Every structure is written in C-alpha cells, then in structure tokens.
Amino acid sequence: MFRKTLLRLTLQNAIVFLLVVSLLGAWLYWFMENQQFKKIDQTLILRAEEMKAEMLGEPFFIFPDPDPLVEVIVWDVKQKEIRKIGQTPINIYNISQLYPEQVDGKVHNLRIGSLQFRSIAVSVLTSQDEELIVQVIRNTNAELQLLGELRKNIVIGCCVAILIAAGVGYYLARRSLVPIQQAWQAQQQFVADASHELRTPLAVIQTRTELLLRNPKQTIEEKSPDISTIYRETRRLSKLVSSLLTLARSDSNQLELNRDVFDFDQLVHEVADHFKELAELNQHQFHVDISGPLTLNGDRERLHQLLVILLDNAFKYTPPSGTITLTCRKKGNEIYLQVADTGMGISKEDLPRIFDRFFRGDQARTRSDGGTGLGLSIAKWIVEKHGGKISVQSKPGKGSTFTVRF
Ligand code: ADP
C-alpha cells in the first residue's frame, strides 16, 4: 500500500527538483546571452552614431577602448562598398554578402556561411547630397561558441540532476513516509486489539443468552448467575467502548478539553469520599492528605476521570488490608498529586509498557475484574493534554506510586 505512495512521492519530488534545476539553468543561459549581446549591441549603436557624426563633420565622443572585432563598412546606394574600417582582411568574406537588408538603425543578426554577425546600418546624407549607408558589424562566433558550450553543460547538468533528483526524491519520500507508516501500523494494531477485546465479552453475552433461551421455564432467581454475568460483561463492554472512543477521538485531535478555573482540592476530596466507602468494604487502609486551596485551569470532568483511573487501579491491585495513600498539595508552582499503594507492584519489564494501549500485566490478566488495559493510556493523555507529567515507581510485591505534576 505504501509502495505506490512511495513511488508517487518519489516522482513528485524528482519532478519538483528537476524543475527547479531546469529553471535555474534556463535563467543562467538567458542571463549570459543577454549580458554578452547587450554589450556588443551598445558598442555597435555607439560606433554607428560616431561614424555618422564623423561623416557629417559633427563632434562626437570617441571610444576610449574600441572593440577590435568591430568593423565599419560604408556603402553607396548601388550596394558598392566604398570604405572599410576594421582589422579583418577583406578577402576573408565575400564582402557584397554583408550588405544590410534593413537600414533602420536597429541591431540584427547576419549570417554568412559559418560566420555570424551582429549588424546595424544607418543611412547618411552627406554635405554633397550623396546618400550613403554606414554599416557596423561584429563577428559573434566566439560568443555563440561560448553560449553553445554553456548550453551543452546545462543539458548535461540537467541529465545528472535527473539521476540525483530520483535518488534524493526517493530518500525524501521514504523519510516523510516513516511517521505516516508508524501511525498507520499503530492504528492497525489499535483496531486489531480493540476487536480482540470486544470479542470476549460479546462471546460471553452470546453464550449466556443462548443458555437462558434454552430453558425458558426457569425463573430469574434460578438463572441469576447467568444474568449477572451478562450484566457484568455488558458493563465491561460499555466501559471498553467509551474508552476506545476517547482514545480514537484523542488520536484524531477531535477531543478538546473544557477548560475552566476550579478548586482542584475540592474535586480530589469528592473523589476520595467515594473511594472511602470502597476502602471500608474491601478492608483497605485509605489515607488522604490534601492541602488546599489548589486552583487549576483544566477540564474538571477529565481530571475526575484521571483520579478515578489511578485510585481504581490502586484498589484493584492492592489486596485487602493493604494501604492506599492519596496525596495532593502544592509544590512550588506545581500541583502535585500522588496515589501510592502497598499492592502487588509492577515488574521491571512491565513498567515501561503500562501506559501502552491494551497492555495488562500478567497478574492483572489473570484477575476476574475485567480491566481493559486502556485506563493508564487515557490517564496519560489527560495529564499531557493539561501540560502535566505522569510517572510511576514500583517494586513487585511492595507496591506502586503514581505521581502527576501539573
Ligand atoms: P487495566 O487496569 O484495566 O488493566 P490500566 O491501563 O489501568 O489497565 O493498567 C495497565 C496495567 O498496569 C495493569 O494491567 C496492571 O498490570 C498495571 N497497573 C496499573 N496500576 C497498577 C497498580 N496500582 N499496581 C499494580 N499494577 C498496576
């Protein structure tokens, strides 16, 4: 699937690279050509004017450094050359072929065999009422050869650029695809894990319901174990679906916080009070140490969810008579929240993975309370979305401590 995209991106990158190089080459050629001929044309125009002034006996600025390749030919109206000023011997070209086609004071190209010229011609009416044509020419073979070399090198450069462009394009395309590929794989894994997790409670609900339907005459009391299993699995399913939805929305950045300034210590008290009842029921020691006032700008509901996840885990993974301590206070500029327990702890190998989606420790997996392995992923998302940090310290058999700083 990514191969096609890789090829398309390579092609796109290569085309852009090639286009840039070609445009640069074309501009360089145009600039050189312009520079070369602009100077020659200016010389020709000035020389023609100088010559005309000289023939009319008018004063004119004389070139300080005349171009040795510039030649002047004076023609009469019968196309006869009557004067030639220049260093090229006359017999080098058939002089009559140089006669200008246009006498308009503009510079034109002139070609005789392999010889190339820039040429300008002006007409002069002498004091004896004789009409003459003054033509100024300059051989441009050397300049054209230089430009030809430049053109050849630019074409070679473009060919090399095609190869480089293909290589660079491929490399850039590969690099830009890496994060997309990783995100895609993570998404695939997420969907696969989610389907797997959903299948188990669904299968339990299905078989238990089939059992109920097979014996329609039995009473609810007789069938209460099956009914309570269906109820438990339905709750688990509902929790799982809502967790999946939270994570999927957080992935696509659809989930925003409902921020508000509120008393965080009050919220911690509220949540702690609920868990006090649970502690009594399970014979846990539950210590609460909250020092307020603690004001926080955040999403009250999400932070409530975070506290429930951390405390729920602490109670879940701590055997009866174990101790759970909830601490919340201000430390410098930070709000410091800690949930510590004396429970089963987390092994060194599991510790880096507990915030991963669907990760459940071996011991957690064997428990019947049906965790989903998504709680801590959601907790981490909530903390990070609030600009905070979550960390964990744990020793197997001794307990775990989760610390959050906002
Ligand atoms: P769940 O609790 O539903 O399995 P979580 O994402 O909340 O999923 O936790 C992931 C794993 O981290 C748990 O399966 C468990 O192995 C480990 N864990 C989390 N909290 C604790 C804790 N307080 N004590 C021991 N292990 C914990």
Contact 355, 278 (CB under 8 A): no
Q: Which mutation among 315, 338, 354, 390 tests ligand 1's pocket best, with the greatest number of atoms within 8 A of CB?
A: 354
Q: Is residue 296 pLDDT above 60, yes or no?
A: yes
pLDDT at 380: 94
pLDDT at 363: 67
Average pLDDT over residues 340-369: 83
* Minimal-distance CA residue to ligand 1 atom 23: 314
Predicted confidence band at 299 (pLDDT cuts at 50, 70, 90)? very high
The number of beta carbons lying within 10 Å of the beta carbon of residue 221 is 7
- Predicted confidence (pLDDT) at residue 252 exceeds the cutoff of 80: no
Answer yes or no: are the C-beta atoms of 10 and 163 closer than 8 Å.
Answer: no
Q: Where are the beta strands (DSSP E) in 272-333?
A: 285-290, 295-298, 323-331
Residue 8 has pLDDT above 90, yes or no: no
For residue 204, report the distance from its CA to the centre of ligand 1, in Å: 23
Decide if 322 contacts 343 (C-beta within 8 A). Answer: yes
Determine the pLDDT at residue 63: 60
> Is the per-residue pLDDT at 367 higher than 60?
no
Distance in Å, CA 297 to ligand 1 centroid: 28
For residues 393 and 173, the model is more confident at 393
Q: Calculate the CA 353 to chain-centre distance.
A: 29
Mean pLDDT of 200-212: 91
| Atom 8, ligand 1: residue with shortest CA distance | 373
More confident: 293 or 338? 338
- Residue 340 confidence class, pLDDT cut points 50, 70, 90: very high
% pLDDT > 90, the chain = 39
User: What span, in angstroms and rounded, lies between the C-alpha atoms of 10 and 7?
Assistant: 5
Q: What is the rounded average pLDDT of the residues 360-377?
A: 74
What pLDDT digit, counting tens, does each position of 82-97 carry? 888 877 665 666 778 8
- Rounded to two decimals, the pTM is 0.62
**Residue in 243, 313, 315, 374 to alter for ligand 1 test, most ligand atoms within 8 A of Cβ:** 313
Tell me which residue has its CA closest to atom 19 in ligand 1: 313
301-338 per-position pLDDT tens digit: 999 999 999 999 999 999 988 999 999 999 888 999 99
pLDDT beyond 80 at 368 = no
**Ligand 1 centroid to 342 CA: how many Å?**
14
Question: What would the two tokens of residue 357 be?
Answer: 């989606």
Mean pLDDT score of the chain: 87
> In degrees to the nearest 10, what's the CA dihedral of 237, 239, 242, 243?
-110
Ligand 1 center to 285 CA (angstroms):
20
Q: Compute the distance from residue 324 Cα to the ligand 1 centre, in Å.
A: 15
What does the pLDDT read at residue 169? 82
pLDDT at 266 over 70: yes
The stretch 264-270 carries a mean pLDDT of: 92
pLDDT of 62 reads 63
b or e along 360-388 (b: 16 or more beta carbons within 10 Å of the residue's beta carbon)?
Answer: bbeebeeeeeebbbbbbbbbbbbbebbeb
Residue, of 403 and 370, whose pLDDT is higher: 403
pLDDT for the residue 26: 93
- Given a cut of 60, whether residue 130 has pLDDT beyond it is yes
Longest Cα–Cα distance of the chain, Å, equals 139
The single-letter DSSP state of residue 97 is G
DSSP string computed for 144-156: HHHHHHHHHHHHH
Give tens-digit pLDDT for 96-123: 888 888 888 899 998 888 888 999 999 9
Helix (H) or strand (E) holding 137: strand 131-139
Compute the average pLDDT of residues 224-241: 90
Inter-helix orientation angle 141-214/2-55, to 10°: 160
Q: What is the distance between the alpha carbons of residues 181 and 200, in angstroms, rounded to a whole number?
A: 29
In 98-130, the DSSP E strands lie at 108-112, 115-125
**How many Cβ atoms sit within 10 Å of the Cβ of residue 96?**
10
Cα(17) to centroid(ligand 1), Å: 51
Measured from CB, residues less than 6 Å from any atom of ligand 1 are 309, 313-314, 317, 341, 343-346, 354, 359-361, 364, 371-377, 400
The pLDDT of 27-51, averaged and rounded, is: 90
Residue 370's pLDDT band (boundaries 50, 70, 90)?
low
**Contacts for 199-205: CB closer than 8 Å, 24+ residues apart:** 201/233, 201/234, 201/236, 201/237, 201/240, 201/370, 202/237, 204/229, 204/230, 204/233, 205/230, 205/233, 205/234, 205/237
